[in-house]
Amino acid sequence: MSEQDVSPRPAGAADRAPIHVLVADDEPHIGRIIKMKLEQGPFRVSLAYDGREALDVLEREPDVALVMLDLMMPQMSGLDVLARLRADERFRDLPAIILTAAGQEQQHRKAMELGASEFMTKPFSPKKLYARTAELAGVADDDAAGAGGVA
């Protein structure tokens, strides 16, 4: 087994470093809700409040394992950030969840064309968001169970 073959994580995975998630949303209360939910499990969350700040965090913190991007943010939209990520070799395969209050089909199609891993419309279920985040991050069900039984 190579060093990269760590999935599924054993039950003792809580001893490992938390999985770093970047949440970019210009509504601070949304970011705080997501942060509180994810940090019930094996996640560490960094918050950004616009697209440029999200890119700055990614440059500063190379251990980000997944990004959540609000579609409509100041400076740069979530789609703009996603396009930049996919154009950069370092972030090409980084899982990305797009969150939006505007669930328009055209935006959904564009996000998927750019390589989004998931597209969720607000209001979203924190439990479903957690479950999808855990799945994309490769968290085993036993690890996810620590966050209120989400499996």
pLDDT score at 64: 97
Is residue 35 scored above 70 in pLDDT? yes
Render pLDDT for 49-102 as a digit per residue (tens, 0 to 9): 999 999 999 999 989 999 999 999 998 999 999 999 999 999 999 999 999 987
pLDDT score at 16: 75
CB neighbour list of residue 15: distance below 8 Å, 6 or more residues apart? none
The pLDDT-based confidence of 8 (bands split at 50, 70, 90) is very low
pLDDT score at 10: 40
pLDDT score at 9: 40
CB neighbour list of residue 47: distance below 8 Å, 6 or more residues apart? 23, 24, 25, 28, 31, 32, 35
Stated pTM of the model: 0.83
